[in-house]
Structure 1
Amino acid sequence: MAGDYPDPSVTKIGDTYWATATTSNWGAIFPLLKSKDLTNWQLVGHVFPDGPPAWADYYFWAPEISEDGGKVYVYYTAHRKGGPLSVGVARADNPAGPYQDLGPLVGQPDGSIDAFPMRDENGVAYLIWKEDGNSANKPTPIWAQRINDAHTALTGEKTELFRNTAPWEGNLVEGVSMVRHEGYFYAFYAANGCCGRGCTYATGVARSRSLLGPWEKYAQNPILVKNDVWTCPGHGTAISRGNRWFMLHHAYNTNGFENVGRQGVLSEFRWNADGWPEFLDNHSVPTALAANTSRRDFSDEFNGSTLAPTWQWPVEEKPQFALRGGKLLLTARTDHSGAALGQSLAVADYTATTTLDPTALPASTVAGLAALGDPNNTLALVAGEGKLRLRQMKGGKPQMLGEVALPAGKALHLQLQARSGNQYRFSWSTDGKTWQNLPADGAAVDGSFLPPWDRGVRVGVLAQGPSTATVGFEGFQIASLTR
């Protein structure tokens, strides 16, 4: 699943595999993807397309999709307004939705995250989750507790299954997914540091005859570690296809790393003679999909009636927009870097372009092409107020990196080129053929400050100005570059 798809979850419903993944502070919340073969995925919607559920505000993590009793459930983590990280659940009649939020299930003082539903050896339904003790320099117990038939509340007492005790696990274990195989429950789990260039994530496994234990960790843990293609593999779901077994998990590609984000990776494993899972050659390679130019590249001429589902926005600052006459009409915002819409990336080397009419820009408004980390961290080439400016927002502090007089004409083409994920060059053109750099020497701008610790960069458009101002963009393209 090429692109920023952390903590992926997958299940089979009928003859179709369904997957979802973390969106963190990007909307729309929790993608819904389907596939017939675990390799070729189609984005068909989102669990919460219109914004957060009423009880939560940000950090939408680790959705787990499953079917039970003819209904589809997505258990997920979110930050409770005025409270801790909590586990909630949403329900639908169809995996494509629409989903009804059923509210939070558990939110311990240090936080509760990474839920997974599982029935015990007697068919009783439980919820498995992690207590987020590492956020307070404490251990991280994995808990199990019964859930009621309506999936709206936990019942009885919780039971600890295991916690971080092995040296390789560092300060946490998390992201548990379970399968039952030949009389054992197997808990695949992630451990150590998940995110960023200094990540130390890896995958381990434990097993038990009974869901509530006792649990035995595999002596050969970790069973899935980094290699020359993927690093920090972890937090996924184990699933079978025929008589083959796989885990859909995330990992950073070593070309692009945190700038592209944690991508969905399918790794195959087998059961050894002692009944433990062993990943094949401990090596996952990019699938044909991940190398497919059609996934690496993106083009939107804004000719439809609705925005393509791959567009994203800061989850707490959903912009107002419309499509009309082959243009994306984006309503400006005054705060942070302005209103923003962006696309997730599948590669570290690419060119992005868009076009706008500078003569149609409203007063006191700037708009253009941007690399987006979050609302307080952006690099943007913007037009407005008689100038074409290269603007940096770092930690909420703006800085001008270059400017020229706004060129005459009704078509202004803006271009961003990225190399190695974080080296950006910006240029502009009045005819789309002859390009001029800004700054004029064409020096690269270091954008390594852009991605937050838990997500990749987006590239897209922004508009900053009064809320009465609307900017029209005429097309947007991303084209991958070869090294």
Structure 2
Amino acid sequence: MKRTQFLLTCLTTALAATAWAQPAVIPGDYPDPSVTKVGNTYWASATSSNWFPAYPLLKSNDLVNWQTVGNIFTKLPDWADYYFWAPELTQERGKIYVYYTAHKKGGNLCVAVASADRPEGPYRDHGPLVGQPYGSIDGFPMRDESGKLYLIWKEDGNSIRQPTPIWAQPMNEERTALTGEKQELFRNTAPWEGNLVEGVSMLRHGDYFYAIYAGAGCCGTGCTYATGVARAKSLLGPWEKYAQNPILADEGAWRCPGHGTTIEKAGKFYFLYHAYDKQTNVYTGRQALLKEFTFTADGWVRFLPETTLLGNVKPAPTTLTDSFKGKTLSDGWQWSVFKQPVYRLRSGALHLTAQPAKGGSSVAQRTLTGNYTVTTTINRKRSTGQAGLAAIGDDDNALGVSVTDRAVQLWKLERGQKTILTTQPIPRSKSLTLRLTAQQGHLFSFAYATNGKTYQPLATQPVDGTYLPPWDRAVRVGLTAVGNPDQQAVFSDFVLQATPF
């Protein structure tokens, strides 16, 4: 997607490079981050789940300051329909590969692969490599001690209350098929791992192969995720887990750390992984963090209390502004994988075609802090459908305000059931400004202004949006259009202003 002039909203607080004041290097909802180096540039991606386009592409010169430059899939792969999880970027012999997980149409979760000649794409999909009856996720490529290429992945046994083996199986050099027989490396056996191990990232150092992996529950307010390490002198084992696992657990401002990728820079080793901010929690989602590690004298992995690179994190703007001046939406916009929006940008306005069901058509942005204000100006003269502004969890859960011909409505969509909370009549005007204000990530207030300055509240108390985020995703804020397909909503701008928590 072509990038327009766009400011990424972020509220960066302390920059001290300690665990107790550790900044996110990619703030916002970027679970299961992966990183690789191509030339002098680092490239990253992350889970997009049921938001589309799939898999954001980010680049950096220093591992800590990142810029979004596109997406891996702007069109759904022919074989898949949803749950775009855990992309793993690698570069070898002049090609870029992404191993990714998605749900197969009429089937289960599979590990697939796509490739490109350049990290920015375009990517050519090669389809699934493995899809077991219980589901297969979290693919990672690794060569053994003889140079033979393998795919490492997790069997998703926890989905049916079974163990979760980590498998290895040879893969052809074209990365289009597995060969030979699969072999189990290890599974969830330690008490701290709970009902699963997953998200394996491997590297070879000295005499050992190391598998840094996640265990326990990844997501939601009750998450128990943590990070462990296992080692083996041969890729196929036997594998030994570290007796002092987990090596990374809740600390400082962050909880439930795990599922990342190792990367080397100037002879030092780093782990790009995700965790929840303890204050904003599920409402901002699992954010990408960076932590340095080293190898101990007895051959294990130890995370360092300080990561000096984090001193180079630059404070980011606290305001996101889009005035829709380009020809297409910028890379930060997302929408439901189940509801492809129809839109066009013309004369400095977004024309969003309406949809009749539930919350209608929508395009949305990530939220990066718990306290923020969003405004949008609606061109009432050109809008023929209900134009709105909403906090969105998914297709069945949203909370927003919409403009009809002569009224403003505050509405709630919960578990697919829509309720009108209040309706206020409004005078005729050429434009109308809607405002959404969030506190603590889940308390929402709505207001409108016919002159762009004097706002009229739509409720005396904030509305509780605790129900909004799905188990594996965070809240988005976005623009909506409800009505028949021959109707549209026209928006002149979108402004998101973050405030201190």
TM-score normalized with structure 1 length: 0.96
The superposition leaves residues 91-134 of structure 1 with CA deviations (integer Å, 9 ceiling, x where unpaired) of 10001000000001100000000000000000000000000000
Cα shift at 1:411: 1.5
Q: How does 1:199-214 map to 2 (within 5 A)?
A: 199-214=223-238
Is the contact made by 2:401 and 2:410 (CA closer than 8 Å) also made in structure 1?
A: yes
1:460 aligned residue (478, 494, 497): 478
Aligned to 1:19: 44
Separation of aligned partners in 1, 2:308 and 2:108: 36
Amino acid at match of 1:447: G
Aligned to 1:121: 145
Is the contact made by 2:253 and 2:278 (CA closer than 8 Å) also made in structure 1?
A: yes
Is the contact made by 1:267 and 1:284 (CA closer than 8 Å) also made in structure 2?
A: no
* Structure 1 residues 218 and 79: alpha-carbon distance in aligned structure 2, compared to 1, 3 A threshold: same
Is the contact made by 1:333 and 1:465 (CA closer than 8 Å) also made in structure 2?
A: yes
* Structure 1 residues 153 and 4: alpha-carbon distance in aligned structure 2, compared to 1, 3 A threshold: same
Amino acid at match of 1:127: L
Separation of aligned partners in 1, 2:349 and 2:263: 42
Of the structure 1 ranges 164-173 and 265-274, higher mean CA displacement relative to structure 2 is found in 265-274
Separation of aligned partners in 2, 1:451 and 1:346: 14
2:315 aligned residue (277, 292, 312): 292
Cα shift at 1:284: 11
Cα shift at 1:297: 2.4
* Structure 1 residues 288 and 387: alpha-carbon distance in aligned structure 2, compared to 1, 3 A threshold: farther
Aligned to 1:68: 92
The superposition leaves residues 404-451 of structure 1 with CA deviations (integer Å, 9 ceiling, x where unpaired) of 002321121100011110011111111222111002x2x111001110
TM-score normalized with structure 2 length: 0.93
Cα shift at 1:293: 3.9
1:320 corresponds to 2:342: yes
Aligned to 1:471: 489
* Structure 1 residues 379 and 221: alpha-carbon distance in aligned structure 2, compared to 1, 3 A threshold: same
Aligned to 1:304: 326
Structure 2 unaligned runs (5+)? 1-25
1:6 aligned residue (31, 53, 62): 31
Q: How does 1:168-183 map to 2 (within 5 A)?
A: 168-183=192-207
1:376 corresponds to 2:396: yes
CA RMSD across the alignment: 1.4
Separation of aligned partners in 1, 2:448 and 2:154: 49
Of the structure 1 ranges 200-209 and 404-413, higher mean CA displacement relative to structure 2 is found in 404-413
Separation of aligned partners in 1, 2:377 and 2:209: 55
Aligned to 1:155: 179
1:35 corresponds to 2:57: no
Q: How does 1:328-477 map to 2 (within 5 A)?
A: 328-362=350-384, 365-439=385-459, 441=460, 443-477=461-495
Identity %: 54
Is the contact made by 1:266 and 1:284 (CA closer than 8 Å) also made in structure 2?
A: no
Is the contact made by 2:356 and 2:483 (CA closer than 8 Å) also made in structure 1?
A: yes
The superposition leaves residues 66-98 of structure 1 with CA deviations (integer Å, 9 ceiling, x where unpaired) of 012211100000000000100110010001000
2:69 aligned residue (35, 41, 44): 44
Cα shift at 1:245: 1.2
Q: Say how many residue pairs are matched.
A: 476
Is the contact made by 1:230 and 1:284 (CA closer than 8 Å) also made in structure 2?
A: no
Partner SS state of residue 76, structure 2: coil
Cα shift at 1:282: 8.2
Separation of aligned partners in 2, 1:301 and 1:185: 50
Separation of aligned partners in 1, 2:143 and 2:275: 28
Is the contact made by 1:229 and 1:284 (CA closer than 8 Å) also made in structure 2?
A: no
Is the contact made by 1:227 and 1:283 (CA closer than 8 Å) also made in structure 2?
A: no
Structure 1 unaligned runs (5+)? none
Aligned to 2:14: none
The structure showing larger relative contact order (alpha-carbon pairs under 8 Å, at least 6 residues apart) is: 2
* Structure 1 residues 170 and 137: alpha-carbon distance in aligned structure 2, compared to 1, 3 A threshold: same
2:271 aligned residue (247, 250, 259): 247
Aligned to 2:296: 272
* Structure 1 residues 148 and 3: alpha-carbon distance in aligned structure 2, compared to 1, 3 A threshold: same
Separation of aligned partners in 2, 1:286 and 1:185: 27
Separation of aligned partners in 2, 1:346 and 1:391: 24
* Structure 1 residues 211 and 43: alpha-carbon distance in aligned structure 2, compared to 1, 3 A threshold: same
